[in-house]
Amino acid sequence: MHKDKLINIFNKNEQLISIIGLGYVGLPLMLTFAEKGCKVIGLDIDENKTNLINQGLSYIKHIKKERIQTLSEKSLIMATTDFAEVSKADAIIICVPTPLNDFREPDLSFIKNTLKRVIPYLREGQILSLESTTYPGTTEEIICSEIKKLGFKIGENFFVVYSPEREDPGNENFNTSNIPKVLGGSTKSCCEIGKILYKKAIKKVIPVSSTKTAEMTKLLENIHRSVNIGLINELKPLADKMGIDIYEVIKAAATKPFGFVPYYPGPGLGGHCIPIDPFYLTWKARQYEMNTKFIELAGEINTSMPKYVVNKIGDALNDCGKPFKGSRILVLGISYKKNIDDMRESPSVELMKLLQNKGSIIDYSDPFFSQFPPMRKYAFNLKSVPITKKNLNNYDLILLATDHDSFDYDFIKQNSKIIVDTRGRFETNSKIIRA
């Protein structure tokens, strides 16, 4: 009866959805459900975020405040820090971070703390979905085990699914609603209801046989990228020593209409997914007495890239008769990829730290960050430097770390003494060095 009742609620569009974690995944998901006519309560421990949403404001730059204002005025969304609101929801979706600890082991504290907060308010007839990236088995071992302790029978009077997020901030072609959604249920009934839930907001839902399969799918997606980027990052220094432009090679190889997917080198990996998620599987593999050598090697190569870039900067400065110490360097772009205001695991910031440790005087310019934001591992008391002719000429070297489209590359090229380019945006010449 609980299954039929919940399906009937969804079919009548009378459901209330609660989304926990209103960051780069949770906020777009909240707005997407609401834009399809679903009422959504957003939950977050950050009162600043919930207040901004309730005021119709956005704290993520690629999400326009008008979307939030429109949905607030229609009473389709509201945000709160009060987890008691979960008791009113028919569906609960958890979108909280899953970082690594200092030993590159999974840190599931956000998931576990969220569970502690919601458990007192769970009731029969609800569905709970986990979207946070994690190792295969998390949903069953952590989510389901806690729910069973409450006396619920999963698949009968309570339903659990895992459906990994696939957000790509700043992508103009794909968004939450048109990116296919992978979904695995703890039981067939769970999967059936989960599919009905997500079809409310997302065009295509891809059911798989289990939560473990869905968890592994997400890891494979990011491991695929990590390993291939690691490959091209390994080839970049080799091509450089051979006098070959790796970007020209990639462009030529990409003309093959089958069997090749272009990946591009960079100063290191950033974002919450690719630098972190593969190590969730390497950790889990050790429980099965197996080594994931490809994954770990790719991680080592990608992690080493900032040091490679710093060595190239040292060579460029040396050619001008300048040491690291005392040299003024302007870093262009501090987000982890272009055209977004997301600095999670940004290689730009690691580069700034390494250069500062060598005695260089570091500044940055980024249209998405007027002031360097507080970060857990880094602290720079800096403001974004405007890109003017006078400012560019004041620096011994310009480092292109994140290639925002809004940068005027011709202007930068004309007015800079020397440029180290980690993104392949400039044609090489006597004052432009690829790194």
Q: Running DSSP on this structure, what letter comes out for residue 100?
A: B
Residue 5 phi/psi, 5-degree rounding, is -65, -40
- By three-state DSSP, how is residue 28 classified? helix
Instruction: Quickly list DSSP for 200-222.
Output: TT-S-EEEES-HHHHHHHHHHHH
First to last CA, the chain: 62
Going 176 to 182 to 184 to 189, the CA torsion angle's sign is: positive
Q: How far is CA 383 from CA 367, 370, 371, 388, 409, in A?
A: 11, 6, 4, 15, 21
β-strand pairing of 127-130 with 361-365: unpaired
Please say if 273 is a catalytic residue.
Answer: yes
Q: How far apart are CA 226 and CA 294, in angstroms?
A: 10
Contact (Cβ atoms closer than 8 angstroms) between residue 402 and residue 423: yes
Kindly compute the dihedral angle of the four CA atoms of residues 314, 316, 321, 324, in this order, to the nearest 10 degrees: -30
Task: Spell out the residues 6+ positions from residue 307 whose beta carbon is closer than 8 angstroms to its own.
Answer: 354
Q: CA geometry: angle at 134 spanning 284 and 34, to 5°?
A: 170
CB-count burial class (<10 Å; 0-12, 13-18, 19+) for 78: middle
β-strand pairing of 397-400 with 419-421: parallel
- By three-state DSSP, how is residue 18 classified? strand
Task: Spell out the residues 6+ positions from residue 7 whose beta carbon is closer than 8 angstroms to its own.
Answer: 192, 193, 196
Residue closest to 387 by CA, chosen among 366, 417, 361 = 366
Q: CA geometry: angle at 203 spanning 69 and 405, to 5°?
A: 60
Catalytic residue among 95, 144, 190, 273: 273
Active site residues: 273
